[in-house]
Homo-oligomer: A and B are copies of this chain.
Amino acid sequence: MLHLPDRCRAVGGVLSRIGDKWSVLVVMQLSGGPKRFSALKRSIGSVSQRMLTLTLRGLERDGLVLRTVTPTVPPRVDYELTELGHSLRQPVEALGGWAMENYRRIEAAQKAFDEVREEGGG
């Protein structure tokens, strides 16, 4: 096993790209196959059009998502994961699994922390 500092920087780089508000959601939504812009927007729901566009551009630029334009009227644009995009699913889902298993513990810790703070502060 290589020592950690290298991985740290690598993780830092990855997180600064996919650690934004929407990238991971989009990748997950594209797990099942291609989706067009509006379908993607609907399936995520709370994302603004602007941010979905920007997020998809970013993912496309990173080579994680492939954008296919069908120049009809009205235009149709499909997005799908590249092989690289699919390979990201595994570690992301590992993180998702961890989150699922532990978010209750985290919430409990936050609650406890905040209560102690209140007592100490008030």
Residue numbers of A with Cβ under 8 A of B are 4, 6-8, 10-21, 24-25, 28-29, 31-32, 60-64, 84, 87-88, 90-100, 102-103, 105-106, 108-110, 112-114
Contact = CB atoms under 8 A, between A and B. Distances in A.
Closest 9 CB pairs of A and B: A63-B109, A19-B19, A10-B99, A7-B96, A14-B99, A11-B96, A91-B94, A61-B113, A91-B95
A13 B113 contact: no
Q: How many copies of this chain are found per oligomer?
A: 2
A96 to B, nearest CB: 4
Contacts of A28: 4, 7-8, 11
B7 A93 contact: yes
